[in-house]
Structure 1
Amino acid sequence: MSTAEVPIDPPPGFWIREASHAPSPVTPLTRPFWRHREWLRVVAEEMGFLFDTLDVQEIGGWLYLRVVPLVDKVGPPPPASLTPELYRTIPEVRRRIRACVNAVETDVAGRLVRRWHDEWRGGLSARIDALRRVDLDALTDEGLAGHYGTALALGDDGCLIHFRLWGAVVVALGTFELTCRELLGWEPGRSTDLLVGGSTSSTEPARALEALAPEDYVRRYGHRALTYDLADPTLAELPDVLRDLARTRRRRDPAEADSAAEPLPASARAAVGGTRFEADFARARAAYPVREENEFLTISTPLALLRAAALEAGRRLVARNALDDPDDVFFLEVPDMLAALRGGTDPRAVAGRFRRERDWALAHPGPPSYGVPAPPPPLEALPEPVRRVNEAFRWALEQIAAPAGNVRTHARGSTTITGIPASPGRYGGPARVIRDDRDFAKLRPGDVIVCPVLPPVWSVLLGRAGALVTDRGGPLSHSAIIAREFRVPAVVATGDGTSRVHDGQAVVVDGSAGTVHLSTE
């Protein structure tokens, strides 16, 4: 039965569309990348978060996320008055509380960040280099299937490392945020100002366009996936775009020159004194750049290696008249592709069915959410370290992805779009709506990028842009961090900015106020 014949019957629970990393229905070959339930269960146990995991499912062809409680049952949550007793009596919760206390006492978050620098970064780089040196054309079909399996194993290991680091980063940044509020009385989000300038990996690819020869640039930065779907090209597959970006990089006014993070005023430093602030600040500074830096080795590059191997398989299947186009390979699941390589059943019918199902999903976009959200359990009755860790997690999660209630739609004809302030400053210029790599060529120096979300590899575009506006994300999203590192004004979570703004329209982006003013001329 086709997707069109199946009524949409979402599973129990509250599900939110995963629009930040999967703005379109994922292709079948990409599905192994979405094993978040398995990886995030490891993270929750390791850090002591009071939930089981995050589940990911396709509903009507679109990806949705759900927070799975430690005790996953259907029905209304217990009254808040019973929460302290439940914390003491439910075995799963008691074990998680002990795990959280241990994680704080042994500084699991800090140790994971150090492990990235001391072990994981070098190990992943070595495995990536070995896979890149493989001559795919010279492999037998069985050898190509084995190579794909090796690249899949790299992707699995990279994803687990990525999410373990994600847990460490949200704890470090969220704990520092709470410390700044409690000791300094700062408003929410101001703690991030002390960290700007530390994520050099965000700006490095754009700056290297001026310094490296094209072939050197492609070798070092080009073999990275532009999105989280294998069907989309890598930078290396867009040489004309790279040449154009290098030739017309925006020349910035000296007043926009890079500066260090906002220093902590002497009066504030004197007020906090002691070691708690300094320790939390040090952990946050160490963790902040890792969020962007690890993504290139744990996610983007393994996906690019898988894409290269899949395209080679697609070319071989076309040569055998088993597929009509090499890109059809992305509409096979991994077992189908490997079976076809080994001379199994004709994959053309399978690819055609999956294409039709994806086309149907694109024509029937799912709602922002299914179900009714349950209020989060109160944290006041928890031991102090457990309360702080889980408050830090909740804060950081909202900063990475704006809550569903904060995603706006604007009245038709409105001349002001509102979102969330992400990077300070005010800038006016012509807008360019960039939905995917096919729109990159439209961008001119000084343009305002308006896009659904800015994936990390798209950071190369910000060397040319004057400001950034996104439909989704929060102050700790990739989009916001990258914009701050470039000192580019940015507004995120506008909800429908890509629908309200048109190419060439004059806009003024106020990244401090979280507004975008549209010209009506």
Structure 2
Amino acid sequence: MKAERSRESRDETGRLVAPLDAFGHDDLAVAGGKGANLGELVRTGLPVPGGFVVTTRAYELVARGHDTREHFERAELPADLAEAIAGAYAGLGGGPVAVRSSATAEDLPGAAFAGQQDTYLNVVGEQALLDAVRRCWGSLWTDRAKAYRARLSIDGTGVRIAVVVQSMVEAEMAGVMFTANPVTGDRAQLVIDASSGLGEAVVSGLVTPDHYVVGASGHVDFTPGRREVVIKGASGGGVSRETGAAGTAERLPDAVVEELARLGRGVEAHFGRPQDIEWAYAGGRVHLLQARPMTALPPPPVGKLNPVQRRLMTVLLEYLPERPYPIDVTTWLPYGPAGLMAKVTSSFGIRGAFEGFLREEEGVVYQLVPPKPRPMPRMLLTPFRLLARARRYDPARWTEDPRYRDFLREAKELAARDLGSMSWERLVRVPREVLDVVQPVAGLRMDYLPGSGLALVRLLVAVRLLGRRELFGDLLHGARTRTTDANEALERLAQVARRTGALDADPLPPEFEAGLRTFLAEYGHRETSSPILVTPPTWADAPEAVLGLVRSLAGAPPEKKEGEDALDRLLRHPRLRSERRRARMRRRVAAARAGVAFREDSHFSFTLPQPVLRRSLLEIGRRLVDVWVLDRAEDVFHLRLEELETIADVTALSADDRERLREKVRARAAKREELTGVRLIDPAEVFPPQATGDALLTGSPASGGVATGPVRLIREPADFGRLNGGDVLVCPYTNPSWTPLFQQAAAVVVDTGGAGSHAAIVAREYGIPAVMGTGTGTSVLQDGEIVTVDGGAGTVARAT
């Protein structure tokens, strides 16, 4: 009866066992990722050891609703399945075989599953083979495999597993080959790691392998390995490990390296993307054992940057501390501050300065590429236009502009809307309405920035002529801005926290909680990490970031730096004795401060609608959760705005449409997870390494002075509360929301940015040393170590 049921299942669903060449790239559901890829290689005529696949049909036959490792390891195989496996094994000659798991969710772009399921080498005999097949099935349900799937948001109930069985290659040398450089991302280089014996020693990291880097011209750079261990097939089955010895085996012959490179390029060309290939060399022949897409591959090098590109990239790196989501790329990124700056620079006669700087792969942002600004013919008239605007538009009066008043009114109307009560048709239009509201701000920036810049230049020239250049930053520090207001409000909260013990209380004292609510109502729209992305939370979304700032400020009251003190010192200059000259200097200082205030306050106001955009997207996400398209509201970030706008009625989505959207989200989430540790660009390409001498680190001098203190690594807003007074703030980036930390820090060291970046400007205003553009500060410096920062020399040294 059991045999009859299994035959019925086989007849209805397809073959249980089939040769490798029966499968191709489209047979993932039956052969799994490894089996489908290997079958494709066999069909292409590449040198792959003979073998067969125990298909997912066989797994389903044995599973029968069970999903535990123990079930499969104890399961009795139906007689005809065992016979089919035995027959296929005999067809290979009945000798040693390699038995590898091949799940339907592995060896895919974004989900390699490397090492998650089991492999058994040098399996000898029919019974040992059947046991290995069972163990491969069971490995789909190990804790590590389940955790890996959960991390990639892959539903385990939909995953099946096949088993690949191949003739064993008793390798003289073996290893892995990458058809792109896995460290630098250079697609023109091919990298081969090799060692004596079976490739398992290289794959599992048991040895330091010989390392070959093959350039586009065929030139090979060779670094010998150490062969700490040699893995070989043992007589009777299984493998043995022997202690190796460096230099006991020769390097691969040049002809073999050339053959590997040729085969690797062929595999890459066939699959259309860089490949991670396992290979073996035996009896004068190269064998390909496995091929899968390379994962976590860095973007290719961008090449040498010109000065303008390097300046723009310092800004973009500071703006993009994290990888944008598809919803960022189609909403706030092109229409928010970056899009606004693209319009502003275009109005000044420069095209492409803030456009086209992101490259996507499989729907996910993969690389930050240098913009290529291009002057337009009208740039010749730009100086005259700038002067005309500077004379017409006074930054001190920009809030009286009707465009600003209209913007504020519309932003408040947006914020007052009840998104939860809207119909889907109405809700899905809200994001575009938000983006439309912010567009007039570009006109305000175009008109008032020239006056701001001119006022700053006039003051700088004046103080230079007086020989008091060092007062410039302190004079600007007296500007009254919305950032200043926020900082003072935080200081008042810190005073309440000190008085009430709020930061150690649960629940929060009523006085402090009321103060926090008031603060967030006024300033809660400030970004926590990036001003050009919509997906990161705001202060209101993540009040713990505000509490972290309060905790830092509550530790010790910050020292005040008053701009009026600098102005008084300047006005005592001998050449400013006449009241007329003193009045003119006061006007210049006031105009420069108004320019600074415009820069800060227009950004503050410009981001007012951003929380509405974020809330509307999350409300859309919640409704997609209700109809089983998403698992979490935040998963909506993996979709593009136009993909959401095509949904006419969320409650009427067909099953096919729901599945299509779910798969799109899953694939993009997996790709994003794959790229977790991959930078958008190598910082060394923007901030070239410099000779450090005795210093631990070098960067761009950004704010003069020397200070010594303990390093405090602040990688994200959640770390704000760790900064103590007198610490050296070391961080990957900053933005205006980080400004209160500068009141406590003894010095600032930042991975990104330059002398004109936000961190540098604020550091100069607070009179603390700053080193920008270190590229690697957060990885080189250790939390708590005592260092000396020389902001004038751009160095960070170990304190002596």
CA distance in 1, matches of 2:482, 2:452: 16
SS of the counterpart of 2:775?
coil
1:490 and 2:795 equivalent? Answer: no
* Amino acid corresponding to residue 206 of structure 1 in structure 2: N
Q: Counterpart amino acid of 2:770? A: A
> Conserved in 2, the CA contact under 8 Å of 1:203 and 1:482?
no
Deviates more, 1:17-26 or 1:96-105: 96-105
3-state SS in 1 of match to 2:564 = coil
Q: Which residue of 2 aligns with 1:20?
A: 318
Q: How many residues align?
A: 459
Q: Which residue of 2 is the match for residue 349 of structure 1?
A: 663
With the length of structure 2 as denominator, give the TM-score of the two structures.
Answer: 0.50
Distance 1:261 1:476 in 2: 24
Distance of aligned partners of 1:464 and 1:233 in 2 relative to their CA distance in 1, 3 Å threshold:
farther
Separation (CA, whole Å) in 2 of partners of 1:266 and 1:139: 64
1:467 deviation in Å? 3.3
Q: Distance in 2 between matches of 1:10 and 1:33?
A: 25
Task: Give the corresponding residue for 1:130.
Answer: 413
In structure 2, give the amino acid aligned to 1:442. R
Alpha-carbon distance in structure 2 between the residues aligned to 1:496 and 1:312: 39
Q: Which amino acid aligns with 1:365?
A: R
Aligned partner of 2:796 among 491, 496, 516: 516
159 and 45 in structure 1: CA distance in 2 versus 1, 3 angstrom threshold:
closer
Unaligned residue ranges in structure 1 (runs of 5+) = 72-91, 371-403
Deviation at 1:138, TM superposition (A): 2.0
Structure 1 Cα separation of the partners of residues 649 and 598 of structure 2:
40
* Kept in 1: contact 2:342–2:354 (CA 8 A): no
* 2:344 aligned partner: 43
Task: Using the TM superposition, give the Cα deviation of residue 99 of structure 1 relative to its aligned residue in structure 2, in angstroms.
Answer: 4.5
Q: Distance in 2 between matches of 1:121 and 1:209?
A: 27
Does residue 342 of structure 2 align to residue 59 of structure 1? Answer: no
Q: Does 1:5 align with 2:305?
A: no
The match for 1:288 is 596
Equivalent position of 1:77 in the other structure: none
1:314 alignment partner in structure 2: 621
Contact 1:230 1:330 in 2 (8 A): no
CA distance in 2, matches of 1:433, 1:447: 10
**1:216, distance to aligned residue in structure 2 (A):** 0.9
Matches within 5 A, 1:97-496: 97-105=380-388, 107=390, 110-111=393-394, 114-158=397-441, 161-162=444-445, 165-166=448-449, 168-174=451-457, 176-177=459-460, 183-184=465-466, 191-211=472-492, 213-226=515-528, 227=530, 228-250=532-554, 256-260=560-564, 262-263=566-567, 264=570, 266-269=573-576, 283-299=591-607, 301-340=608-647, 342-343=649-650, 345-346=657-658, 347-367=661-681, 407-409=687-689, 415-496=695-776
Deviation at 1:514, TM superposition (A): 3.8
Does the aligned pair in 1 maintain the 2:625–2:631 contact within 8 Å? yes
Note if contact 2:771-2:795 (Cα within 8 Å) is conserved in structure 1.
yes
> Could you tell me how far apart the structure 1 residues matched to 2:536 and 2:557 are?
35
The question of whether the paired residues in 1 share the 8 Å contact of 2:477 and 2:766 is answered with no
Per-residue deviation, 1:322? 0.6
Question: Displacement, 1:518?
Answer: 3.2
Q: Secondary structure at the match of 1:469?
A: strand
Aligned-residue offset at 1:500: 1.6
User: How many Å separate the matches in 2 of 1:244 and 1:366?
Assistant: 28
Q: Which amino acid aligns with 2:601?
A: E
Deviates more, 1:111-120 or 1:51-60: 111-120
Question: What code does the residue aligned with 1:316 have?
Answer: R
CA contact (8 A) 1:195 1:262 kept: no
Is the 1:196–1:261 contact (alpha carbons within 8 Å) kept by the matching residues of 2? no
Shift of 1:253: 6.9
Question: In structure 2, do the counterparts of structure 1 residues 19 and 281 end up closer, same or farther at CA, with 3 Å as the change threshold?
Answer: same
Given the superposition, is the C-alpha separation of residues 229 and 254 from structure 1 closer, same or farther in structure 2, using an over 3 Å criterion?
closer
Distance change (3 Å), C-alpha of 1:192 and 1:460: closer
The Cα shift of 1:290 comes to 1.7
Instruction: Confirm or deny: 8 A CA contact 2:552 2:722 kept in the other structure.
Output: no
Q: What CA distance in whole angstroms lies between the structure 2 residues aligned with 1:365 and 1:422? A: 24
Change in 2 beyond 3 A, CA 1:124/1:462: farther
Describe the SS at the equivalent of 2:375: coil
Q: In the TM superposition, what is the alpha-carbon distance from 1:240 to its structure 2 partner?
A: 3.5
Question: Partners of 2:454 and 2:564 in 1: how far apart?
Answer: 23
Deviation larger for 227-236 or 151-160: 151-160
2:783 is the alignment partner of 1:500:
no
Inter-partner Cα distance in structure 2 for 1:194 and 1:159: 28
Amino acid at match of 2:359: I
- Looking at structure 2, the residues matched to 426 and 30 of structure 1 have their Cα atoms a distance apart, in angstroms, of 40
**Residues 120 and 473 of structure 1, relative CA distance in 2, 3 Å threshold:** farther
- CA deviations 1:329-357 (Å, max 9, x no partner) are 11111112333473253322222333344
Residue 413 of structure 1 and its aligned partner are, at CA, apart by 10
Which stretch of structure 1 is more off in the superposition, 302-311 or 508-517?
Answer: 508-517
Instruction: Quote the offset at 1:55 in angstroms.
Output: 4.1
Percent identical pairs in the alignment equals: 27
In structure 2, what is the Cα distance between the partners aligned to 1:129 and 1:269?
47
Stretches of structure 2 lacking an aligned partner (at least 5 in a row): 1-107, 111-271, 275-298, 361-365, 494-514
Structure with more strand by fraction: 2
- CA RMSD of superposed structures (Å): 4.0
**Once the 2 structures are TM-superposed, how far is the Cα of residue 260 of structure 1 from its aligned partner?**
2.7
Give the drift of 1:418: 3.2
Aligned partner of residue 25 in structure 1, secondary structure:
coil
Deviation at 1:503, TM superposition (A): 1.9
Cα drift, residue 262 of structure 1: 2.8
| Structure possessing the higher relative contact order (Cα contacts under 8 Å, 6 or more residues apart) | 1
1:68 aligns with 2:345: no
Asked if the contact 2:708–2:799 (Cα under 8 Å) also holds between the matched residues in 1, the reply is: no
Contact map agreement 1:431 1:505 (CA 8 A) in 2: yes
Change (3 A) 1:103 1:232: closer
One-letter amino acid matched to 1:28:
P
The Cα of 1:457 is off from its aligned counterpart by 1.7
Distance in 2 (alpha carbons) for counterparts of 1:491 and 1:204: 27
**CA 1:8–1:163 in structure 2 vs 1: closer, same or farther (change >3 Å)?**
farther
Per the normalisation by structure 1, the TM-score is 0.74
Task: Report SS of the residue matched to 2:729.
Answer: strand
Q: Is the 8 A contact 1:430 1:447 kept in 2?
A: yes
Range that drifts further, 114-123 or 263-272: 263-272
In structure 2, do the counterparts of structure 1 residues 52 and 245 end up closer, same or farther at CA, with 3 Å as the change threshold? closer
> Greater CA radius of gyration, 1 or 2?
2
How far apart are the structure 2 equivalents of 1:274 and 1:476? Answer: 29
Structure-2 separation of matches of 1:367 and 1:252: 38
For 1:268 and 1:64, how far apart are their aligned partners in 2?
Answer: 50
Q: Is the 8 A contact 1:248 1:464 kept in 2?
A: yes
What SS is found at the alignment partner of 2:771?
A: strand
Q: Is the 8 A contact 1:110 1:283 kept in 2?
A: no
Whole-angstrom CA distance in 1 between matches of 2:648 and 2:303: 35
Please give the alpha-carbon distance, in whole angstroms, between the structure 2 residues aligned to 1:102 and 1:244.
45
Question: 2:746·2:768 contact (CA, 8 Å) conserved in 1?
Answer: yes
Cα pair distance change 1:461/1:320, threshold 3 Å = farther
Structure 1 pair 315–268 and aligned structure 2 pair: CA distance change class (3 A)? farther
